Structure 1
Amino acid sequence: MKLPKYLILSLLHCLIITSTLSKCPQSYPCRNLTLKFPFTDIRNPECGLFMVDGCNSTHGLPRIQLEAQGLRYDLLQLSENNMSVRYSQLQKLFKEGTYFLLRLPKYPFSSLTIASPHINLLSCNNPHFGGNPCNCSQIPLNLFCVNLTAPKETRDSSECSMIQVPINTEPNQCSKIHLNQLNPEFTLEFNVSHDCYQCHRRGGQCFRNWINDFYCKEGSSRLVLILAISGGGLLFILCLLISYMIWLLKKRVGTGYIRSSNISFDTSKSDINGGSSFFGIPIFPYTELEAATNNFDPSRELGDGGFGTVYYGKLLDGREVAIKRLYEQNCRRVEQFMNEIEILTGLRHPNLVCLYGCTSRRSRELLLVYEYVSNGTVADHLHGERAEAAPLTWPIRMRIAIETATALAYLHKSDIIHRDVKTDNILLDENFHVKVADFGLSRLFPYDASHISTVPGGTPGYIDPEYHMCYQVTDKSDVYSFGVVLVELISSMPAVDVSRQIHEINLANFALTRIQRGAFDELVDPSLGYNLDAQVTGVTTSVAEIAFRCLQLEKEMRPSMAEVLAFLKDISN
């Protein structure tokens, strides 16, 4: 029997995979940089502490995330204990009042400080601590200068968080800061603990548990080698069997769909630019989408997520669209690209965003084309730019809750887990009807499975704690995230706020403590008329109780999405 060329290539691919199981490389080439521990390519997250993406991209600079779902900095230069980075949207953070995102993460096994000129500020919500707020042009006035005005008890308070702000020159006076002094390019000094270095040299990995303590996950080198060799051999045999079965199937059915793992390939349809369709949706030429966004003009940017930037565009036929431009075209991005297409092409629901088409997988860049939803996100209307202009009324918030629950219940009935339910992913049209968006993290859920094992993904503040600890996602993970959304709807508070007390930074914890002691007046947004309107008081209290059930730590204690929807409809009626 003569094996076809693609089968031989797949077997070679399996050999490459098995050969990489034994240990992490000592270094990675990354453009003009060389990555060594504690840095690692994002495709090998287990080999370091700081992930770098875009090493193989042909445009832009490599980007580094200092923590999961954190800011993505352009990586300019690396030395033994320093890295030079750039965050071009630095002034925008302060204008929007989201400067706390600049706060450097704290690890039990490494430290990060700004080595270039900077100023230390405290973000405090309680001015009674004393001190004078910084005289900051266009900057919110709950910032205190550490070295001049803030007393020691303020600096030690758990209700304040330290923020290091890079500036152009050393300040003469801490109390005077202006936006044009902020420096988007700065140097970070990093130090990794001796324990973590030793753990890495022994072939282990540095981890932090749920209480942020360091531990080293390792085994004897001999055992690791034995496991790697045996595991590699089994994987090779499995690849051989799968490849042979695919070859037989292709021989029997000719062209058609071949599905493997989470990626599908349609061999009967073209997916090159100018082809008719891919997964049953139209393929747009890259040049048309480039023209639709005016060459991806920054002024047309609608949002910036973990996987890509979304731009407003207008097609040749006059349709207004939202075009998601994935960051880099590597294997991981291609998988997310195809995953989102595969899921959305099989769904039709009035409360789910509609996918109009995409570029080819062989295109210059990976682009997804969605319907344009004009009225922003729920987050914008609750605690963003649109909140002050026209706060959402309670009937609209209730409808948002019901329509979002309807969309999620439909997904779960279709054996799909969203995995990133949050108010930033709930879009509103001009009539305030819901369109749930962003399926890059979603997963098809086998009907006979109790869970899916996967590396935790999602957004801080919304992630199911059990999922984060056990790496097992179920439909109840979406229920937990939706519980956070419910609390946002009744409180108008963000899911994460570092200005709250340390154990209540996550809105879920804040809500649970208030609901448990019946302090609903501390949770519900006063503008809704709580304790002034009997009907609003009763309904918001009932919704808070549903949120309480959704936020239970054990997934078995949470209701299903269908049950949550039924409860909300009963309350509404």
Structure 2
Amino acid sequence: MALLVVLLVLLCAESGISQEKDNDNETNALIGEFCGRNGVTSLLNFNKNRNITLNDLRMQLSSKRVLAARAQVVGPGDSVYAVTQCRNYLTVDQCVACFDAGVSKVFNCSAANAYISFDNCFLRYEGFIEFYNDPYFMMDGSGTQFLKCGNQSASQPTPFNQVVRDLLSNIRDATPKTSNFYVASTRQIISENTKVYATAQCVENITQATCQTCMNSVYDKLNSCPPSNQGRFSDVACFARYSDTPFFNDNQTTNIITTRGHSGKPVAIVVAAIGGGVLCLLILVLWLLYRRRLRNKSKKNEQGYINLRLMPMADGAVHYDYKNLKLATNNFSQENILGRGGFGEVFKAILDDKKVVAVKKLQVQHDGATEEFEKEVKLISNIRHRNLLRLLGWSSEGSHLLLVLEYMPNGSLDRFLWGPQRGTLNWNQRYEIIFGIARGLAHLHDEYHIKIVHRDIKSSNILLGDDFRPKIADFGLARFQPEGQSHVSTAFAGTLGYTAPEYALHGFLSDKVDTYSFGIVVLEIICGRRSTEVRPSTSDICCLLEDAWEMYENTKHVNVIDETLKLTEYEREHAMNIIVIALLCTQSPASDRPTMSEVVSMLQEGRSMAERQLTRPTILKNANRRIHIEVMQNQKRKMQLN
């Protein structure tokens, strides 16, 4: 029987090379294009940087004779990071031609990010570097998946459908296992005396798990195309195509038998040879083990802590051994402490590969520690955004609950506002920090597939990277806001001084609570004062917010700007405009506040404040007094820095 199995396996294996024939890889159909929503600071500066980057990409392709390239221009303002990649069956000249077609498309886009996908290549650029190794690290949520099915049907749909689906199944399994994440394969349709050609490719330098996730999408999406004679699917992480017309040569196929492991027809034959009785017994044993595992999944361990190894994690988030993290933090030594919070401490750690990370160690004696840990891991493991702190991994062993997070070398924002680094942030840096926080919150509220309310936006929860790019941290108090509901009623949790009045007084929680907190943080950034700080000369005013309102009502809000800032006339006007936006965010009732997406637009586009009315927060004096913002021509121009 063993000999029979070997013979059957050999009969089922595809031939690696056959006679070369003409193909249509000269065609280069557009699959989809996406012009993002991320704005630029200066269109002139952005266009210059983009042109330099695209020229660099083309030079690499043509001079190095390669099919993939990266390039970037990093500078103050509008940095551009770009990547292009062609299909492996192309010549370099065909690749350059495809790239040129992509360049002609992106010139129609004035956003800071774009994605163009063709049959033969893709071109993408962003304003941040993280997407190089994590294609899904993006700001605009969905919108970059494209599916195109042919408009002609196969002459014999039933055999055609079966062959296509078998072929797609095989390339789905094989592509992530190849060294270059690329597969090209064919299948013969005997009844029609024709072939089906298919290829799949994942983006370079991503993980095998990310490639596999994308290939699963390929299989699910392209399966809806047959009996169409061809189909294409493109995502930011991968591409796949099938057709009954050759688009690569038969000598360019990949021998996927060696890569797909225990999948495909050979295994099916071996299983059939085992015998019906043995197979039934094996299925019964596997079913019992599966049921047992399901029961274990639904329980916490004996100490009452979540087994996070069984929780769904985003690609790249890994489980760390507690002993290794203990060693990396020098036994959680005091000299490695980066900060302290309500649920624990954060330590600097150096891993074995010399990578520097931050390790958040939760205090498990706290009543909410386990719940906070589980919630934070579930939330941030699946959120990717340049202005949200990224989860790298976690550890859950006994009573030890640890989160491994991005290391932010400049620490928290409050250090630069009233801490040891006070006065070192210039106006442009402060504006970019305000803009980044707004974009992060807009992603949580409006771009992620569910609305998330952070609940604890404050200066100490804004961390700064090397380039002072802000990232929102500490999602332990975050809550989902159900679709269609204006708010949820819940017990107060947050930080007084940053919390909206309707939430602090009545427990009404909505995304507008974050908007209020954002307004307070903006005032702190511009004024360089704590939200609870009282100026000695205004002892009858309770806090920074009321002081800003009083000054604004008397058109003297220039006086609340941080005295350490040395502003030009334009910068002073710009800062005053953003104070008005901050006050818009703190209004009562909550419905009067803008959404964070609207705030991003106001910051980005310089939209006039002229026809808006402001309403003081209810916790302040004269709560019902409405204030009309007078029309000021000098506030209409240049809301953003060039």
TM-score (norm 2): 0.45
> Which residue does 1:392 correspond to in 2?
425
- After superposition, the Cα gap between the structure-2 partners of 1:463 and 1:503, relative to the gap in structure 1 and judged at 3 Å, is farther
Aligned to 2:411: 376
Deviations 1:145-164 (CA, angstroms, capped at 9, x unpaired): xxxxxxxxxxxxxxxxxxxx
Matched position secondary structure for 1:567: helix
Aligned to 2:436, the other structure's residue is in SS state helix
- Runs of 4+ off more than 3 Å: 253-258, 263-266, 270-273, 275-281, 498-505
Between the aligned partners of 1:359 and 1:563, the Cα distance in structure 2 is 38
Tell me which amino acid in the other structure corresponds to 2:640: S
Deviations 1:367-411 (A, max 9, x none): 1110101012211111111115xx211111111111110000001
CA distance in structure 1 between the aligned counterparts of 2:497 and 2:472, rounded to whole angstroms? 18
Structure 2 vs 1, CA of residues 294 and 535 (structure 1 numbering), >3 Å: closer, same or farther?
Answer: same
Counterpart residue type for residue 555 of structure 1: A
Q: Aligned partners of 1:423 and 1:257: how far apart in 2?
A: 42
Counterpart-to-counterpart distance in 2, 1:498 and 1:540? 21
Identity %: 33
> 1:424 and 1:547, CA in 2 relative to 1: closer, same or farther beyond 3 A?
same
Q: 1:418 to 1:300 in 2, by over 3 A?
A: same
Query: In structure 2, the residue corresponding to 1:366 is in which secondary structure?
Result: strand
Going from structure 1 to structure 2, the CA distance change for 1:278 and 1:289 (only over 3 Å counts) comes to farther
Q: Deviations over 1:512-552 (max 9, x none)?
A: 2211221123211233345xx22012111110111111111
Match of 1:131 in 2: none
Highest Rg: 1 or 2? Answer: 2
Q: Does residue 518 of the first structure (1) align with residue 551 of the second (2)? A: no
Inter-partner Cα distance in structure 2 for 1:483 and 1:495: 10
2:401 matched to 1:366?
A: yes
Per-residue CA deviation, residues 262-312 of structure 1 (Å, 9 max, x unaligned), is: x9989xxx9769x69763532211111111111110111111111111111
Give the equivalent residue in structure 2 for 1:284: 320
Matched, 1:535 2:570: yes
Q: Return the alpha-carbon distance in structure 2 between the equivalents of residues 363 and 333 of structure 1.
A: 13
Cα offset, 1:461, TM superposition: 1.1
CA distance in 2, matches of 1:522, 1:271: 51
1:63-78 → structure 2 map (5 Å cutoff): none
Give the letter for the 1:375 counterpart: N
Aligned to 1:326: 362
What secondary structure sits across from 2:346 in the alignment?
Answer: strand
Separation in 1 of the partners of 2:562 and 2:474?
Answer: 28
Structure 1 residues without counterparts, runs of 5 or longer = 1-249
2:208 corresponding residue in structure 1: none
The residue aligned with 2:586 is 551
**CA displacement at 1:435 relative to structure 2:** 1.3
Q: For residue 597 of structure 2, what is the aligned residue in structure 1?
A: 562
- The one-letter code of the counterpart of 1:552 is Q
Q: Residues 339-371 of structure 1, C-alpha deviation per residue, up to 9 Å, x if partnerless?
A: 0011101201111111011112x4231111101
Match of 1:483 in 2: 519
SS in 1 for 2:493: coil
Corresponding letter in the other structure for 1:519? K
Alpha-carbon distance between aligned partners in 2 of 1:505 and 1:368, rounded to the nearest angstrom = 38
Structure 2 gap ranges (5+): 1-286, 606-638
Judged with a 3 Å threshold, the aligned counterparts in structure 2 of structure 1 residues 351 and 265 are, in CA distance, closer, same or farther, namely farther
Change (3 A) 1:338 1:476: same
Q: How big is the shift at 1:497? A: 2.1
1:59-112 C-alpha deviation (Å, 9 max, x unpaired): xxxxxxxxxxxxxxxxxxxxxxxxxxxxxxxxxxxxxxxxxxxxxxxxxxxxxx
Find the counterpart in structure 1 of residue 505 from structure 2: 469
In the alignment, what sits opposite 2:543?
506
CA distance in 1, matches of 2:513, 2:381: 23
* Aligned with 2:436 (options 392, 403, 426): 403
Instruction: Kindly tell me the number of residue pairs found equivalent between the two proteins.
Output: 311
Deviation at 1:505, TM superposition (A): 4.1
Q: Structure 1: how far apart are the matches of 2:475 and 2:348?
A: 19
8 A contact 1:286–1:363 mirrored in 2: no
* C-alpha separation in 2, matches of 1:424 and 1:366: 22
In 2: Cα distance, 1:301 partner to 1:548 partner: 35
